[in-house]
Structure 1
């Protein structure tokens, strides 16, 4: 049974073919459940017993989620076409959607709008949200020559709270009882790691967001050290269980049971649990099939020897029978 409190119901096995059942418990074809030590978010099991099964839990992967982390800073890198600015510009804005993680782990969006100005190398950037809130605008001038060509030359705040020295916009977004502070980094003046202006096509922005959405478990992976990791749909990966290895003093004396499992006996000695790859214990090989330990050539050789020995014995019996028959005939 899952989370069985009876220690005598726990078995040891070399086979690790476990799949989730209808309840999310990892179970093999014989119906046995995989047990391990639950870990916290940092991968630690805390204090657990190595001489009993009391701290083990059935490995269940059905109900795991990871809490999202709200975005606090988003970097923006894109190229604005230099030929769009200056006298005669159409003033058509280039828009893009910036997605960030809100305080509940969900995804919200802001619209960045870059409007070319009538002055060469000058743009106006404005930011709005999906509800129509306008966070203001600022003027950005780009360098058109020299070593810093194409990089931001200056930021002039309008109604948009931007730091001229760093090119970072700081927004206070009211999406809960406490507003969420979000920094949007366009790149410092004289650098080309953020926004640039070169001749050619408009390059849609690439965003680097330090937030992560709430994630649901997609799959599980086992490491060589016995840690079962969960991989979540938000890209995160965290430890879920530590699956121990058992150390038995005399494993040849264990009693085998159905389902490729074994039970410790008095002759095999006590069982101690430990983490794989520590204190002389081996590793766990995931997605691997243990090969046969039978030497086919040796077995065929033994079979031939046995067959010849049988033939020789049969010949001896036949000869003895013939000798007995001749002896009886002489007597007659």
Structure 2
């Protein structure tokens, strides 16, 4: 019985080492596969009942586990939509056939890296047909609230790189100096004392219009400067163009500590002045525009110094008609379309999927995984929030295989396999000797 158990143990040793050899060969074969997670083999002894005078070999059993929680190094690329996860979390993807069928019930696969590019239909997908999933943004670029424990809100990311777009101007910032000497005059001549400024803005169709601001100084009284101006705003797109869309009376400080800064702003026509933000709101033909003129007692917007009219900083948001030239993903998973006008627009947000037991996921083809009972339920987090890491663009995750370690294990496995084969050979010879006793 003892000799027979030795033979069985040797056979089990061969099987166990063959299993380990299979994992080693798989790890080495995928040492250059992006996103590959190495498989680890463990041996466990099997013990049979025995008494003090005899012993029966129980043998060995091999178990394997894919080490999904072990990340490979990140390597930089020149493709903006090459993505990798630094830290915990997985990118949600699906297969192209499911997107094509469009049955409204996509299945989700998980991956830690992928080289995504737009196909002929604009889907961001890999060469293996994995399509990236995300939450589509609202028209204003904000991300709507979505279910975090289901994929109901996720959609295949589809981008039209030839899309033409524009953004209307909604904010204008005025930084300029008005001449203090103008309010020292007793008689004001509109032809020479009024100052004018034309500020260009973009309407809802991407064409340019102008807001004309006329600065009218108030005359001095009794030889004392008024330090007061009236701002009259007209819009070139409003019919008639001479229609006043905003009129404000602005007074400046003349004390020693805050001289030249805004003292008060009074609305005659148009939205009220907000002292907390230093803005007023006017309605042009394409909608409301917030104009920043500066906070009270500060010199960040309108000022009154010296004798010259000097625009110092005039800025606005919005853009004219532009064509999308690039797609980029930031560390928080926001997908942006970059336009040749220098502007950008938020298109999607890619959440990161987290599970309680990453090693419990079921491995699929192309370095993807499926949620199982062992992995626990999933949750969709914002990237770089909660337990998840961040998304890195222009990067791929390398294989987690350590070739040097695998080659060392290969030598050990070969020696162990040879030794088990020797055990079987020895047992066979001993059984042969036992048979020869009868002769």
TM-score range, shorter chain: 0.5 to 0.7
Unpaired stretches in structure 1, ≥5 consecutive residues? 310-332
Is 1:76 matched up with 2:174? yes
Q: How many residues of Structure 1 are paired with residues of Structure 2 in the alignment? A: 291
In structure 1, the residue corresponding to 2:405 is in which secondary structure?
A: helix
Find the counterpart in structure 2 of residue 111 from structure 1. 212
Unpaired stretches in structure 2, ≥5 consecutive residues? 1-95, 417-439
Q: Shift of residue 26 of structure 1?
A: 0.6
In structure 2, the residue corresponding to 1:35 is in which secondary structure?
A: strand
In structure 1, the residue corresponding to 2:259 is in which secondary structure?
A: coil
In structure 2, the residue corresponding to 1:33 is in which secondary structure?
A: strand
In structure 2, the residue corresponding to 1:149 is in which secondary structure?
A: coil
RMSD in angstroms over aligned alpha carbons?
A: 5.6
Which residue, out of 146, 150, 159, partners 2:256?
A: 146
Cα separation, partners in 2 of 1:216 and 1:240, compared to 1, 3 Å: farther
Which residue, out of 392, 396, 400, partners 1:286?
A: 392
Find the counterpart in structure 1 of residue 305 from structure 2. 198
Find the counterpart in structure 2 of residue 313 from structure 1. none
More helix by share: 2
* Counterpart-to-counterpart distance in 2, 1:245 and 1:206: 46
Q: Shift of residue 27 of structure 1?
A: 0.8
Is 1:58 matched up with 2:58? no
Find the counterpart in structure 1 of residue 51 from structure 2. none
TM-score between both structures, scaled by the size of structure 2 = 0.46
Q: Would you say the 8 A contact 1:35–1:243 is kept in 2?
A: no
1:158-212 CA-partner distances (Å, limit 9, x unpaired): x977989989877565x37xxx566756568765454211127543154577x86
Q: Would you say the 8 A contact 2:206–2:319 is kept in 1?
A: yes
In structure 2, the residue corresponding to 1:298 is in which secondary structure?
A: helix
Cα separation, partners in 2 of 1:254 and 1:140, compared to 1, 3 Å: closer
* Counterpart-to-counterpart distance in 2, 1:122 and 1:9: 67
Q: Would you say the 8 A contact 2:147–2:153 is kept in 1?
A: no
Which residue, out of 76, 97, 116, partners 2:198?
A: 97
In structure 2, the residue corresponding to 1:34 is in which secondary structure?
A: strand
Q: Shift of residue 150 of structure 1?
A: 1.5
Q: Shift of residue 79 of structure 1?
A: 1.1
Cα separation, partners in 2 of 1:38 and 1:111, compared to 1, 3 Å: closer
